[in-house]
Structure 1
Amino acid sequence: MVASDLDRTLIYSSAALALGMPDALAPRLLCVEVHESRPLSYMTEDAAARLARLSDETVFVPTTTRTRRQYQRIQLPGTAPKYAICANGGHILVDGVSDRDWHASVLDRLAGECAPLAEVRAYLSATTDQTWVRKHRVAEDLFTYLVIERDLLPEGWLELFGHWAGE
């Protein structure tokens, strides 16, 4: 079995590709995700061929922070994965269907060991600013995250958040 993250490991958005070479030297790309009728994520053709061979020879398990809906937009080369791990482990998919027992155990652990999602969202709303936060998202009622402008992130904010989260 081989498990691998997807974004910025096997697949890349246009922005994440960072092709820092002359156009004529850029690798050939295969679009593996379309969203709202627009190409969104890519693999190099070489990586796609290698993944196709790998998935024919062993069990390949994509793992991702993506929600199930976001994951389902991806069309990886090779044999379709039987298993996938989505939403930071909140869902294990078997043939595209979430394992209910696993998901229930995750919800139990979150309820017993973590701050409530509403509390985390409230903290983020109170301590962030729209000048550097592009999006504030909730993923499948499991976790929340921010899409930020890294260059505008206030110095020390991550440390303050880490301290709060550790309490």
Structure 2
Amino acid sequence: MMRKILVIVGSGKLHGNTNQLSDEFIRGALETGHQVKKVNLTENIQGCKGCGVCQNNGHHCVIRDMMKDIYPLFDEADTIVMASPLYFWSLSARLKSFIDRLYAISTDDEYPQKDTVLLMTSGSDEFYAFEQAVSFYRFFIKALGWKDQGMVLAGSCITKQTETAVKEHFLNEAYCLGKRI
């Protein structure tokens, strides 16, 4: 079955580790015949104001930033890939703002069914590094009724100047996940 995949990259670095991991996932997905669109959250996305206006005006968020261009892509996709560097043992603020702003598309706290993937990079190789981020991911996709299709948690990504440093086995894991999805 051909999927429509939206890859949301919550890193401010266009050529960093998280993008490199995402690109390998995308390469695998494209080789399998899936349609893929990638969005880099390089512009600021404001967090949800909690004003609730979106719930009364046709699910249109009053905040005017790059999310207005992402909502239609989100609607078309059946699979959402969230990619983030690990910042202070959690998702990046960019990705978290994206997630918070999905409230605009809910109806009575119900969300459209999506499959999901989590891709993360970290300089840490400690066993606990991704624990909090994964816990949040699992909790929120369960709350939204989404289905996890897998994750790649790439630790020990130490960047030197302009060089990315994702270990080959993590790149291969992302590529294989993209092919398998």
Question: TM over 0.5: same fold?
Answer: no
Which protein shows a greater Rg? Answer: 1
Task: Please tell me the TM-score bracket, short chain as reference.
Answer: 0.3 to 0.5
Indicate the structure whose relative CO is greater, using CA pairs within 8 Å and at least 6 residues apart: 2
Report which of the two has the higher share of strand.
1
Q: Normalising to structure 2: TM-score of the pair? A: 0.31
Q: Normalising to structure 1: TM-score of the pair? A: 0.32
